Amino acid sequence: MGSARCPCLAVLLAVSEGYSHVFGNRFVPQSWNTRLVAHIDCPGGGQVWVDGMTLYVGHMRPTRGTTIIDIADPSAPKVLATISVREGWHSHKVRVANGLMLVNQEKFGKSSRTDVGGGLDIYDVENPEAPRLIAEWRTIGGGVHRFDFDGRYAYISPTAEGYVGNIVMILDLADPARPAEVGRWWIPGQWEAGGEAYPWTHWPAPRCHHPLRNGDRLYVSYWHHGFFILDIADMAKPKLVSQMNTSPAFPHPTHTCLVLPEPLKGRRVMIVADEDVAKLWPAPPAFAWTYDITQEQLPVPISTFQVPGLDRDGSPQPAMTGCHQPSERIAGTIVPFAWFAQGLRLVDYADPFNPKEVGFYVPDAAPGADRASSNDVTIDDRGLIYLVDRVNGVDVIEATAIS
């Protein structure tokens, strides 16, 4: 991989409306209440994560695996290390905590239930310039898609022998060289080897997409089977608390369930992002739901957010026009979203019944692409925002003039 090109490309002033113009020989992307700090020229990615002053990028396409970048000076990022991945597999997700880096191993493209080689790779990154592989945890089938990691436990979405689709699994990494399964959960009907009847003849197969932990709960998106709230006070025996599925009425799959850190207006609030892909029928772009989970046995949708003007009349639009992923790390009530072709969107949930956009940044299309494809976003302790395009590049962005 070549060195990162990290100049400050342009200073983008906050204005009352989004705008664009030519700055020198470069077309400046559309923005509002944001400014570009730096652009990192690297292969496209599925996830970005920050630990301290280090940025970790999980790349979309093999043989590019993971890039580790020093962001102590955010205007001049420096590549510290790169890790490759085998042809035919990708490691497009990455999480870091307590000096450990976890990257997924998932079949790139169509997989079969007999594939071997997917799972998780675990690295020591106490020295991020010299990541050291500690263990390779492997499963059968397509491997692991998304996951959460708190420094001790990994909450993963693996395929597993005897099951249809991805399930929920919890791994204990107290000894990172010997990951140990603590517990697993699945929708009744997935355990084929256990003799469970398969009830989804006329519906997409179940697929655990992304578990996220908050306290003793696991908030699990399950693609076209909606979301599930699990009680994991006893990790060996996860218990169902409640579930909800909007896919019968809205054709987009459930991507991520993110609980906001503090009550808002006295209510416990969860954002549920639908992904603008794999639609059950042609439809307008996907959006984000807001749920009141104060009474967690009865999740209630209380609002939605869509980029203003994106869905004008309900007409079908191409995939990857709408919502993808909120930042899994947030501070306060403003949530950064990666909104595919609409770039970065900053949404204020101070009033969860009426979320409002307070800023955005739409990058240029990556080389060879016809529009942006913002796939993931995170923030660091300084409040800087990192937005990765699934085709090429990471933008480092500062929010400005937001009150």
Whether 15 is in a domain gets the answer no
Nearest-angstrom CA–CA distance, 194 and 211: 23
Number of domains comprising the chain: 1
pLDDT at position 25 is 40
d(CA 174, CA 153): 8
**Quick check: is 94 in a domain?**
no
Positions of the chain with pLDDT lower than 50, given as ranges = 1-28
| CATH code, domain carrying 383 | 2.130.10.10
What is the length of the chain? 403
Q: Give the residue numbers spanning the domain of 189.
A: 112-399
pLDDT, tens digit, 9 for 90 and up, residues 127-186 = 999 999 999 999 999 999 999 999 999 999 999 999 999 999 999 999 999 999 999 999
Choose among 281, 343, 345, 350: nearest CA to 314.
281
Answer whether residue 14 is part of any domain: no
pLDDT reported for residue 3 = 36
Helix (H, G, I), strand (E, B) or coil at 78: strand
DSSP for residue 381: T
Domain annotation covers residue 316? yes
Considering the domain boundaries, does residue 51 fall inside one?
Answer: no
- Does a structural domain hold residue 61? no
Q: List CB contacts of 211: < 8 A, sequence separation 6 or more.
A: 146, 147, 148, 155, 156, 157, 168, 218, 219, 220, 221
For position 403, what pLDDT does the model report? 54
Q: Residue 29: its pLDDT value, please? A: 58
CA distance 245 to 185: 18
In a domain, 213, yes or no: yes
User: DSSP 3-state assignment of 285?
Assistant: coil
